[in-house]
Amino acid sequence: MKMLAATGARHAFARQAESCRSAGSDFVAAVLEAVDRQLHLAPLSSRMVQSWTGDPAAAAVALRVNGALHALARRGNPSHLAALYSGQHDDFDGAVAEALSQQDQFIADWMRYPTQTNEVARGAAIMSTLMTVAAERPMPFQILELGSSCGLNLNLARYAYRLGGVAAGDLSSPVRIEPQWRGADPPVAPVSILSAEGVDLNPLNAQDPAHRERLLSFTWADQPSRSRRLEAALQIAVAHPPQVHRGDAKLWLTQRLAERQPDGVCRAVVHTMFLQYLGDGDRSAIAAMMAAAGAGATAERPLIEIGLEWTADRREVQLRFTRWPDGESAVLATCHPYGDWVDWRGAASLRGQSKA
């Protein structure tokens, strides 16, 4: 058995497997452990992993390969892999080895693009934050989302939520988001969204069957409820197409923040699991851009930033909220990466927090 080269990507699959197992996905963990043992059978993909620049965990290299294998299984080719995913056997090494050796080019091509789960369950964190803001001062929101993927979270007002003991959103929606809730309930307040648009380097289109399939392939195979929720959100996106622009997030945000904000409207810049894909320079530039825009915010034209992101040490996912003109910033909650649970701290955490 060949070992991965001693680079930043060494044992990325085994480490991601541990993370998946701790998140309750034994199946995906077993797939990735088999990839770790069998990757030498796919020379193109193996070279991509060995020569990867940057942080392989932040780039979700292992999950890119997992998505490729799930996509192949959903297509029924190779058949032994498809049978593994349908529960007909548990020969993980045999099925993965066959797929790696036969579909190396497909897997390598798939790895060139980042994961795009566009997990709508993360909308619970966004909606809770919007409710917190609306409870203090009712005002319609102008949503600007960075890294929108297919734009499914731009439709967050069209989903039904159960946030602890609080119901929110469109309660008749087929998309039901009910995370395990820890802590106090969020404030009860109606949320009005005046407009919602986003940007992505490679946006997906819900109207395109291939794009829908790509998103479904990035869901974990042993979590069918996530797939059903995603399918329902995609159906809503077909009926109500989100407005997602193709482009660089930093340049797009520069242009949007330069536009005059209507009085009586709260501008909200939102991003979920996005900053990890940026370099330090771009992250710093966006932070500086937000601070500069915040300096011009007023009580009638407030600006907020909602970020659901990994901490620098990747130990937890934090829901961080910053608001201007006062510049207060705080962590409102810690969350499961895919939104399965929310540990809510709430607006009280803003008191005494640092200025942005």
Q: What is the pTM of this model?
A: 0.86
Q: Do residues 60 and 112 touch, judged by C-beta distance below 8 A? A: no
pLDDT at 1: 38
User: Mean pLDDT over residues 277-296, rounded?
Assistant: 93
Asked whether residue 4 carries a pLDDT value surpassing 60, the answer given is no
**Separation of CA 332 from chain center:** 18
pLDDT digits (tens, 9 = 90+) for 134-185: 999 999 999 999 999 999 999 999 999 999 999 999 999 999 999 999 999 9
Strands of the 303-310 sheet, one edge to the other: 180-182, 341-344, 328-335, 317-324, 303-310, 266-272, 141-146, 193-200, 243-246
User: Mean pLDDT over residues 314-331, rounded?
Assistant: 94
| Helix 12-22 vs helix 26-38: crossing angle, to nearest 10 | 170
- Write down the mean pLDDT value for the chain: 92
pLDDT at 294: 96
Residue scoring higher pLDDT (285 or 54): 285
Q: Do residues 196 and 145 touch, judged by C-beta distance below 8 A? A: yes
Asked whether residue 7 carries a pLDDT value surpassing 50, the answer given is no
Which of 165, 187, 163 lies closest to 177 in space, CA to CA? 163
pLDDT digits (tens, 9 = 90+) for 120-145: 999 999 999 999 999 999 999 999 99
Is residue 285 very low, low, confident or very high in pLDDT (cuts 50, 70, 90)? very high
Asked whether residue 261 carries a pLDDT value surpassing 80, the answer given is yes
| Helix 104-111 vs helix 92-102: crossing angle, to nearest 10 | 80
| Cross-strand partners of 269 | 144, 305
Q: Do residues 342 and 128 touch, judged by C-beta distance below 8 A? A: yes
pLDDT at 258: 95
Q: Is the dihedral of CA 88, 94, 96, 102 positive or negative?
A: negative
Asked whether residue 64 carries a pLDDT value surpassing 50, the answer given is yes
pLDDT digits (tens, 9 = 90+) for 188-213: 999 999 999 999 999 999 999 999 99
pLDDT at 6: 38
